[in-house]
Each structure stands twice: as structure tokens, then as C-alpha cells.
Structure 1
Amino acid sequence: MRIATVGDNCIDYYANLKTGYPGGNPVNVAVYLKRLGVESSYVGFVGNDEYGKILTNALSEKGVDISHVSVKEGSTAVTQVELVDGERVFGDYDEGIMADFDLTEEDIKFLSGHDLIVSGIWGKIHGRLPELKRLGNVIAFDFATKLDDPIKEEAIPYVDYAFFAAEVETDDLLQFMVREKAKGPKIVIVTLGENGSIAYDGRFHRFGIVPCEVRDSMGAGDSYIAGFLKAIMEGYPIQKAMEQGAKNSSVTLAYVGAW
């Protein structure tokens, strides 16, 4: 099994720790998949600065295929983060050269050689999803907390596994999941932090959390996505995939930084 992730990357800079960690949803998912034993690739832009070197070197050391990471003149994206009682608080975001990210035809051919393509709402490839879908690709997409973002309406008809994030289960949230499932996805999944997760494939499935000591919540949702997708692609039922997502999250929650 080979899974490709594509889109945004950044350095998560913790000002209070005076330390930066490589991150970004697709980057994190690629690393977490590799941690689970899945061959993974990452496609995106980095700048020709020190942060770009740090990010590509870190991915390479983790065993992620970076053959389609392009180094561009300019700065690598940076997100300012503060850690407050184990919870990440995001500050300013400098998109850097990722502001101009797009896929080449060679990138699309490369992505299509994988069993699954994973991206998200900040990945800048939502306009490319119709083409990727026409080529027969299976697509997972993380919409995060952006339940009403215009990108969601544009992207979701071409998505097989649609991930969202919220805080608590409500009737409105369940109705939202039903509506989104009707637009095309096979499964709609909502992670609820310490309240577990819900999945809908025509009926609702629920799973709690795997208890652990929380040091930093950065990357917990991305870890869930990686664990869930690995299990689903291996043919496991939804309930088992949710369990695997929660287990993978518990590993990430136990240390500082996404990975």
C-alpha cells in the first residue's frame, strides 16, 4: 500500500519554547502513516531557506518519499504556536511560498500511482480534485473545523473519506454529517477531541478515546486520520478504523510537537 499526501506544510514555531517543529496536515499524516508501516509520499513546496532544509531533512529521515517536494525561491511557511496546559494555541501564520502552490502534470501522474491521496482545506488542491477523481484516484480530505467553508462545497463531491473536527456531538452536527454524506463521500468522520469520534456511512458509529497523558495536542487529529485510513485501506470495518485512529492519536499526544 502506498499513500500520498499533498498540500500545506509549515514550521510550527513555539515561541515559549524557542523551538520549531516541522508540521502541516499533509506532512504530519505522511509521517504518521510511515510510523504505522505504510509507504508514504509528500508533495508540496518549501522555500530555499533554513526552515525548508529542516523540513525536507526531517521528512527524509522519517522515510517519507520527498521526490516531488519542490524547493522554491522564498520562505517556508511558519505558524506561531503557544502551548497552554497541553493545548496548542495558534498565532500568526506566514504562508510563504505555499501561497503559490499548484500541481504539475508530473505531480498528478505521481500522485495517481498511489492507492490513496490525502489533502486538506489549506492544501490548495481542491480545484484539482475533479481531475484526480477522473483518473480513478481514491481521495481523503481533512476539512478541519471549517464546516461552512466554500472550499468544502467545491471539494466534497470528489472526496471518498471526509474528515471534520468539532467539540461535542449535537443534533445539528449529526444532520450535517448526513447531508455531507449525500454529496458524495463514502464515509464522513468527525473527531471530537477528548469526546472521541463519530463516523457516518449510512449509519452512525462512535468511538471514545484511548486514555493517555497529554503533553501537546499538536498533530492528534492528523494521527487519527492516519490510523483510520490505514485500517480502512486494509479492509477493516469502520469501528476498528476509529479505534486505530484513537490509538495512533494517543501516541502523538504524549510528546511535544507534531512529531
Structure 2
Amino acid sequence: MVRIAAIGDNDVDCYLSNGLMYPGGNCYNVSIFARRFGVESAYIGAMANDPAGRHMRNVLLKERVDIERLRTADGITAYCVIGHVDGDRVFLNNDFGVSRFIPDIDDFEFLSGYDVAHVGQSSALDQWLPEIAERTALSYDFAVRHEAEHIGKVAPLCQLASVSTSHLSHKDAVDLALTIKGAGAQWVLATRGRDGAILLKGDAQYDIQAASVEAVDTLGAGDTFIARTLVGLMTGEKPNDTLSAAAKAAAGTCSFHGAVGYGVPIDVPVQLDMAQAALKQSSPAAE
């Protein structure tokens, strides 16, 4: 069976709209989605021994994700406070807490037992990407970081390079994907939100429209798309079949709150009154 590990970021996403916090973070989400899509998965990261960290750890166990290399560190678990304005997400404030860590030789050796390791750019692990890529295939999410110098350093290491292009035209999204492929990535996935996605390999380009859904919350949809695409590529699925399945899975994620679900009452040291004030200032009515 294909084995996928994710190493890097995690947080609890705190929703002002309902007072709940949901487990999240690109790498955390990919580890859970990969397991839901039928492969073995593991998550390497760091959380505190606080209510948020314990909840996130329990969710990983419930989802049957390997947490052998999950650290418990002194401090607070990372969090992000999210508001909504006219249905759109507004990121109000965040704290990386203990989520950023320095991997050690045991982490690298652990990854060598997996077919691919996924890392997100927000994990602050870029300097260790060559170490990871020496031991297994690398999947990397550039998210919205598009600088040429960064692409030039990371793309040559990538089996799959993902990038968020929902703010770009189709032409600009394709051009960016071609740039990443030209820099050395074997596969490039450009997710485009409600406009679907583009997948490149060699001279081939595959396009998919987003699946129709009555969206409740779009948080985690991109991570879903990345995880399902990665599973498809690693299992030898036909690219068009992979993209079709990924689009349906991403639509499914939009049908519930939080990236992976499991909302519980907010229990992190965030000043919600200040966040509410920031949300009011973000509202068009405040302008």
C-alpha cells in the first residue's frame, strides 16, 4: 500500500461565527485526507499539551494517522482566528505557537519508510527540503508564494509541486505552472478554487472544472485537492480520473465547517473581543 507522510504545520482554526475551533493546517489536513482516501499516512509536527493540542492529537488517532513522530512541546498550540464577511473568510490573527520545529535525523529516517513526504511552505521547513528529498519523493505546496528565486530552489526537488492560483486568470495560472515545471518539478498542480484546477506533466496539460456544491465553508478544499491528487499520482491512477475524484472530494469538504470537521468550543488564549473588533473593521459596512 502507498504510504504518505506529511511534515510541518498545524493549527486550530477558530471561527468567530459559531465559537468553535477546528483542527487544521496544510500538512495536518493532508495527512488526514490521505488516510481517508485509502492510503497509509503519518503526521510529523509539534503541538502543546493544551486543550487544542490534545483535541488535534485525538483527531489524528481517530482518523488512524500514524503519530509516532508527533512532538509535545511547552507553550501553546498554533491557532488562527477566522471571521466571515459576506460569506468570505477573513483571517484576523494567528499565533504559530509551538508548531514550528527543527526536524532531526530520526524524522528523516522515518520519512525514508514512506513513498512521499508532503511539506507546506508555511511550515518553515524549506532549509531541510533537500534532506527530505534525499530520502523520499517530495510533495510541496507553494500556496500563494510565487517568487522566482523560491521556485528555482524548491521545484527541482519536487515530485508534485502545488500552487494556489485562484486569484489568477487561467492563462496566468498556466504560465505559473509552466514556470514551476520548467524549474524542475515533475508534476505541477495549480488549484483555482471555484474555477477548478490544472495539472501538468511533461508536455501534457489536464484541466478540470470544480464540482458543483452548495458551499458551507471552503476552508480545506485546496488541501483536499492536493491530497487526492497526490494519492492518485502515487497509485498510478489516470490523471483525468485523479482530477475528477479530487474535484468531487474538494466539493465534499466545502459541505461542512472546518477543514476536516471535529469542531469543539474555542479554548486557546486568544482575545475574542479584539478579534471581533478587527472583523468589524474588515466589514464593508465599516468603510
Name the TM-score class by shorter chain. Answer: over 0.9
How far residue 152 of structure 1 moved from its aligned partner, in angstroms, is 3.7
Distance 1:170 1:215 in 2: 25
CA deviations on 1:11-30 (whole Å, 9 max, x unpaired) are: 10012211101100011111
Q: Could you say what secondary structure the match of 1:114 adopts? A: coil
Distance 1:2 1:139 in 2: 13
In structure 2, what is the equivalent of residue 164 of structure 1?
163
Q: Which has the larger radius of gyration?
A: 2
Q: Which amino acid aligns with 1:165?
A: S
How far residue 39 of structure 1 moved from its aligned partner, in angstroms, is 1.1
In structure 2, what is the equivalent of residue 154 of structure 1?
153
Range 76-85 or range 18-27, more displaced = 76-85
Distance 1:132 1:30 in 2: 16
In structure 2, what is the equivalent of residue 91 of structure 1?
92
Q: Could you say what secondary structure the match of 2:122 adopts? A: coil
| Identical aligned residues as a percent | 32
Distance 1:116 1:134 in 2: 11
Distance 1:224 1:234 in 2: 15
Q: Could you say what secondary structure the match of 2:9 adopts? A: coil
In structure 1, what is the equivalent of residue 267 of structure 2?
none
CA deviations on 1:115-147 (whole Å, 9 max, x unpaired) are: 111111012222111122223x11111111111
CA deviations on 1:192-229 (whole Å, 9 max, x unpaired) are: 11101111212321100111110000100001111111
In structure 1, what is the equivalent of residue 137 of structure 2?
138
In structure 2, what is the equivalent of residue 220 of structure 1?
221
**Larger RCO, structures 1/2 (Cα 8 Å, 6+ apart):** 2
Distance 1:52 1:182 in 2: 40
Distance 1:126 1:113 in 2: 21
Q: Could you say what secondary structure the match of 1:145 adopts? A: coil
Q: Which amino acid aligns with 1:98?
A: S
Which consecutive residues of structure 1, in runs of 5 or more, have no partner in the other structure?
none
How far residue 82 of structure 1 moved from its aligned partner, in angstroms, is 1.5
CA deviations on 1:29-64 (whole Å, 9 max, x unpaired) are: 111111112111000010122211111111111111
Q: Does 1:61 align with 2:62?
A: yes
How far residue 86 of structure 1 moved from its aligned partner, in angstroms, is 4.4
Aligned residues of 2:144 and 2:163 also touching (Cα < 8 A) = yes
Distance 1:224 1:173 in 2: 16
Distance 1:72 1:164 in 2: 30
In structure 1, what is the equivalent of residue 106 of structure 2?
106
Aligned pairs (5 A) from 1:193-204: 193-201=193-201, 202-204=203-205
Q: Give the TM-score, by structure 2 length.
A: 0.85
Q: Could you say what secondary structure the match of 1:239 adopts? A: helix
Aligned residues of 1:78 and 1:96 also touching (Cα < 8 A) = yes
Q: Give the TM-score, by structure 1 length.
A: 0.94
Distance 1:154 1:186 in 2: 14
Range 22-31 or range 124-133, more displaced = 124-133
CA deviations on 1:74-122 (whole Å, 9 max, x unpaired) are: 11100011234543221211011124x1111001111110111111101
Which consecutive residues of structure 2, in runs of 5 or more, have no partner in the other structure?
261-287
Distance 1:184 1:150 in 2: 13
Q: Could you say what secondary structure the match of 1:122 adopts? A: helix
Across the two proteins, how many residue pairs are aligned to each other? Answer: 257
Runs of 4+ in structure 1 deviating by more than 4 angstroms, as ranges, are: none
Does the C-alpha gap of structure 1 residues 10 and 97 become closer, same or farther in structure 2, counting only changes over 3 Å? same
Q: Which amino acid aligns with 1:113?
A: G
Distance 1:207 1:226 in 2: 16
